[in-house]
């Protein structure tokens, strides 16, 4: 699909390193459109230096809008040996000063609505021509369950998903629909096996 439709750069390591850079394909100045997240903020200066850029929503297929929004969550498991201490760390991380620093360090958008206006103002002050609102609005369309949620048999599911993506990109399959159908069958087998063992 990639070689015919040119939907994205090749994913193999040699292509990524030589043409598009390991961690910033858009910054290579050889790619016009790329799916990205706010945590790519480490690359914004490179983009500023190379070209005029902006953010837009990814077009929806058949009116079905889904945003693969990265939503970082925390959990204290029932089996934790130090739940009280973990709770104290959690509260500290989400204290206003630390939370703002944490989000700034990794390009996150505050989940707390009362802090989002401040985040938006900071982004607009530094880069006033970027449509930052798209990133905030994306939360309304986040996958449910989220793409970073807990998954039974995670490593196996991840491997199957990576194989499916590689199959689409490499052209191993003629039909993305067939890849999706095969992936669904494989993942369902993994989930069935996981739950049967409980």
Residues 165 and 68 in one domain: no
pLDDT over 80 (residue 89): yes
pLDDT band for position 87 (cuts 50, 70, 90): very high
Q: How confident is the model at residue 50 (pLDDT cuts 50, 70, 90)?
A: confident
Which domain covers residue 45, as residue numbers?
35-146
Q: What share of the chain is helix, strand, coil (3-state, %, to 5)?
A: 55, 0, 40
Residue 74 domain flag: yes
CA dihedral defined by 145, 150, 156, 159, rounded to 10 degrees? 60
Do 127 and 168 lie in one domain? The reply is no
**Helices and strands (DSSP H and E) totals, the chain:** 9, 0
In whole angstroms, give the CA distance from residue 175 to residue 84: 51
156, 90: one domain = no
**Does one domain contain both 50 and 104?**
yes
**Per the domain annotation, does 17 fall within a domain?**
no
Residues 6+ apart with CB under 8 A from 108: 38, 39, 72, 102
Residues 89 and 165 in one domain: no
User: Do 155 and 86 belong together in one domain?
Assistant: no
| Residue 20 located in a structural domain | no
User: What pTM did the predictor assign?
Assistant: 0.71
């Amino acid at each position: 699909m990639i070689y015919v439709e040119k939907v994205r750069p090749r994913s193999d390591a040699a292509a990524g390193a030589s043409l598009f850079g390991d961690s910033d394909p858009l910054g290579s100045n050889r790619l016009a459109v790329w799916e990205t997240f706010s945590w790519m903020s480490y690359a914004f200066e490179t983009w500023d230096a190379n070209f005029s850029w902006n953010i837009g929503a990814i077009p929806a297929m058949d009116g079905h809008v889904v945003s693969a929004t990265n939503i970082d969550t925390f959990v204290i498991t029932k089996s934790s040996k130090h739940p009280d201490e973990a709770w104290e760390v959690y509260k500290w991380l989400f204290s206003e000063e630390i939370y703002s620093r944490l989000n700034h360090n990794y390009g996150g958008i505050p989940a707390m609505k009362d802090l989002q206006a401040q985040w938006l103002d900071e982004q607009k002050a530094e880069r006033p021509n970027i449509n930052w609102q798209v990133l905030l609005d994306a939360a309304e369309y986040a996958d449910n369950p989220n793409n970073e949620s807990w998954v039974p048999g995670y490593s196996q599911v991840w491997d199957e998903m990576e194989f499916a993506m590689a199959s689409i990109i490499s052209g191993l399959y003629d039909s993305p629909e067939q890849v999706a159908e095969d992936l669904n069958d494989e993942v369902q087998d993994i989930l069935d096996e996981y739950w049967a063992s409980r």
